[in-house]
Amino acid sequence: MPICTTRDGVDIFYKDWGKGRPVVFIHGWPLNGDAWQDQLKAVADAGFRGIAHDRRGHGRSTPVYDGYDFDTFADDLDDLLTQLDLRDVTLVAHSMGGGELARYIGRHGTDRVRSAVLLSAITPLMLQGPGNPEGVPQSVFDGIKDGILAERSQFWKDTAVGFFGANRDGNKVTQGNQDAFWAMAMAQTIEGGVDCVDAFAATDFHEDLKKFDIPTLVVHGDDDQIVPIDATGRKAAELLRNATLKVYEGSSHGIALVPGDKERFNKDLLEFLRS
């Protein structure tokens, strides 16, 4: 198995498909690198090198008890890019992974980075407050943690519905989408599940976004029930120096997996990579 061992001894599993300019995919919560298989194949078939890792405590990476904060995630990503000696990289991040991407640039700069894609990302800040009235109330995050701790298997089944917009009329969500979400979520440690909620709820990425000096594609669905676009995608696009915002009308949080949205995103991603 391809493994990157971090500076603190955590084994990070990754997939590495194709040859060419590298595209590194960073998954959302509570998923793992398998969430990117369609995109990995798309970029590899198009002549790029696609790489997707499992965050610590997720999927096939070491199921550690601690280290679920964005400084640690960013340093894990730096260990991966450094050990594989990746340069001229496009970083593509979904949801919570957007925070990992932003904090990586905030801590490590863009020497290795060519461009970035923020898909349904949590940046710049999720938590509702006086300066972020469009954000998500703390009570929602508390409810998520309670659900994980009470009976996480059923909680993940219930969460998959809103994640993909399966509760919307005319949706194209499959049972397979929801089953895959459950399987990936169950491969996350319960401690990681809870700690990540605190991390992605309250971490502020405004200063990290200010350090972006690369072209960035921001893609967000305007019916995202998990990460509301007005608190995140629209604000991130305004903060970034060189950003293009693409709003998918009626689309959910799970854009990269839902039929129809998936194909549209793959097309937009390849166009961005070739630009």
218-249 tens-digit pLDDT: 999 999 999 999 999 999 999 999 999 999 99
Residue 100's pLDDT is what?
98
149-192 tens-digit pLDDT: 999 999 999 999 999 999 999 999 999 999 999 999 999 999 99
Tally of structural domains, the chain? 1
Residue (of 256, 275, 247, 261) closest to 41 by Cα position: 256
Residue (of 16, 163, 190) closest to 94 by Cα position: 163
DSSP letter for 211, please: T
Active site residues: 95, 224, 253
Q: What share of the chain is helix, strand, coil (3-state, %, to 5)?
A: 45, 20, 40
pTM of the shown model: 0.97
**Contact assessment for residue 269 and residue 42, using Cβ atoms and an 8 Å cutoff:** yes
Query: pLDDT grade, residue 1 (50/70/90)?
Result: confident
Domain carrying residue 172: 3-274
Q: How far is CA 246 from CA 124, 238, 250, in A?
A: 17, 13, 13
Q: What CATH number is attached to the domain comprising 155? A: 3.40.50.1820
Residue 157's pLDDT is what?
98
